Structure 1
Amino acid sequence: MDETGKVSPARRRGLADEVADRIREAIFNGGYAPGAQLREVELSGVMDVSRGPVREALRILEREGLVRCAWHRGTVVTTLSAEDVAELESLRGALERLAVERITAHAAEEDLASLEKAAGLMERARDEHDMVRLDIGFHDAVFAAAGHLRLAEAWEAIRCQVHLFLLTRIGRSTQGYLGRVPREHRELVAVLRSRDLQAALDLFAAHRRVAVDVVSAEPAPS
């Protein structure tokens, strides 16, 4: 606060956010896989910035759940544990339940059309990482269609972690992935259009379960 007791002028910000955006993008592109180490000195050199904005950017990503910082390991891209996966699934399921309830009861035609458009984009996915982005984009549209601001904000709070979860899923297996995902999302739109709440809840739960099962499966023996 300044001497008058009022708030002081805000400091200019932006560089740390830009650095966070670039690191986040690299994680989502597969440049830094779960468990990869993120070294401040290397990142500052590659991005031609001082270590201060890099350090602040890593704190931003830590709050999003994308990285974890530990004194003995430094900063690494988050590797989701079985407990992480279970918590994400339960919370995402609770949020999606409310979204589905609201959409089946109240969604306008333009809301359903936006979901169809988001599902249609998946037909043109360039690769698995692009498909993950489009998958997240579809679920963004679901929460937007629900017309519930605080619900959308709750989704935004876990969105990056769900993205990381889907990256973990394609890291485990991509067999049939590019063909299956667009079909699943077309089916989700169709059941929302039907306004059949229980059928929609069941299909959304089954859709989530596919990815959870892939991530939770024991690795095949080498």
Structure 2
Amino acid sequence: MSTTTKAPSAKPALRQLQTLPEQIAERIFESIANGDYGPGDRIREEALSEQFEVSRGPVREALRILEKDAVVRILPNRGAHVTQLSIKEVADIFEIRRTLSGAMIARLSVDDAARLAAAIDADIRTLDALAQEPDGSSEYFQTSYRLSRTLREACSNERMGEILASLSRQTLRYTQLGLATPARRKESARNWRVMQKAMKAGNVQAAAEAAEKLIEDSKREAIKQLEARPSAIAG
């Protein structure tokens, strides 16, 4: 990972940025999501302190922020390491995320659902196009993640939105695995379109069911990919 990056500037990303440690946490998280760190890799405070040109205090606090979301684990005398979830842990987190995602959509009023359907139309069309591209995996995932964030931000229950954001972070690497093939991206795009059409029609229950299917399909494929890897942890 490059050591020339300056201290991160505040910009919209995967969470609303406020303090310097939150900004640093976001940048570390992006590095993990981009594969600069793999499961089990150590994240060294001193290297990050040099990279962001800050003292080790904000870096240490940033790592604690990521630990709350189970993105890293801080071990006594061993420092921070990227989490390596077992297959069972991945399945459990996806299950919670699926249930809460459905509940979040079901809470929408008919008018709010219609407004949200209009707000996400451009990104849905982007997904439809990217699903046809053999090399569209990265951009598809980024667009899908942005859509998920838009849905969370529309949730009237702020605490539910925060929990879903944390769960989304915890499953991010595994969601990417679940979108690895063109066939899966096409299936995902269809689910997004079904959900949007249901919201537009004011059928929030059907939209909630589509949201749950979206997460369930991602879980199924992620576990399939993990089980095919020799290093996968079963339990």
Distance change (3 Å), C-alpha of 1:120 and 1:145: farther
- Distance in 1, matches of 2:188 and 2:142, equals 12
Structure 1 residues 195 and 60: alpha-carbon distance in aligned structure 2, compared to 1, 3 A threshold: same
Structure showing the higher helix proportion among its residues: 1
Q: Which has the larger radius of gyration?
A: 1
SS at match of 1:33: coil
Unaligned runs of 5+ in 1: 1-12
Q: 1:60 is matched with which residue?
A: 65
Q: CA deviation at 1:186?
A: 1.5
Q: Does 1:188 align with 2:195?
A: yes
Are the equivalent residues in 1 in contact too, given 2:73–2:83 (CA < 8 A)? yes
Q: TM-score, normalised by structure 2?
A: 0.72
Output the CA distance in 1 between the equivalents of 2:167 and 2:88.
15
Q: Aligned letter for 2:215?
A: R
CA contact (8 A) 1:132 1:163 kept: no
Q: Show CA shifts across 1:85-141 (max 9, x none).
A: 233223212222222222364535322201323323435668433322322221222
What letter is aligned with 2:171?
V
Which residue is 2:104 aligned to? 99
1:211 aligns with 2:196: no
Structure-2 change in CA distance of 1:127 and 1:101 (3 Å):
same
CA shift in 2, pair 1:220/1:49, >3 Å: closer
- Partners in 2 of 1:207 and 1:37 — Cα distance? 32
Structure 2 match to 1:82: 87
Q: Per-residue deviation at 1:20?
A: 1.7
Q: Which amino acid aligns with 1:156?
A: A
Residue among 161, 183, 190 paired with 1:176: 183
TM-score by length of 1: 0.75
Q: Output one character per residue of 1:42-95: Cα deviation in whole Å (capped at 9) or x when no partner.
A: 222333333332222211111122111223653221222223223322321222
Give percent identity, aligned residues only.
27
For residues 162 and 43 of structure 2, the distance between their equivalents in structure 1, rounded to whole angstroms, comes to 28
* Worse overlay, 107-116 or 117-126: 117-126
Distance of aligned partners of 1:108 and 1:202 in 2 relative to their CA distance in 1, 3 Å threshold = closer
Specify the code of the residue in structure 1 equivalent to 2:167.
I
Secondary structure of the residue aligned to 1:76 is strand
Instruction: Give me the whole-angstrom Cα distance separating, in 1, the residues matched to 2:43 and 2:199.
Output: 41
Corresponding position: 1:119 with 2:124: yes
- Indicate yes or no: 2:162 matched with 1:147: no
User: How many correspondences in the alignment?
Assistant: 207
**In structure 1, C-alpha distance between the alignment counterparts of 2:172 and 2:56, rounded to whole Å:** 27
CA 1:54 to 1:184, structure 2 compared with 1: closer, same or farther past 3 Å? same
Q: What is the alpha-carbon distance in structure 1 between the residues aligned to residue 220 and residue 119 of structure 2?
A: 29
5 Å matches for 1:22-33?
22-33=27-38
Of residues 119-128 and 89-98 in structure 1, the stretch that sits farther from structure 2 once superposed is: 119-128
Is the contact made by 1:64 and 1:161 (CA closer than 8 Å) also made in structure 2? yes
Q: Aligned-pair distance for 1:23?
A: 0.9
Q: Secondary structure at the match of 2:36?
A: coil
CA contact (8 A) 2:102 2:209 kept: no
How far off is 1:179 after superposition? 4.0
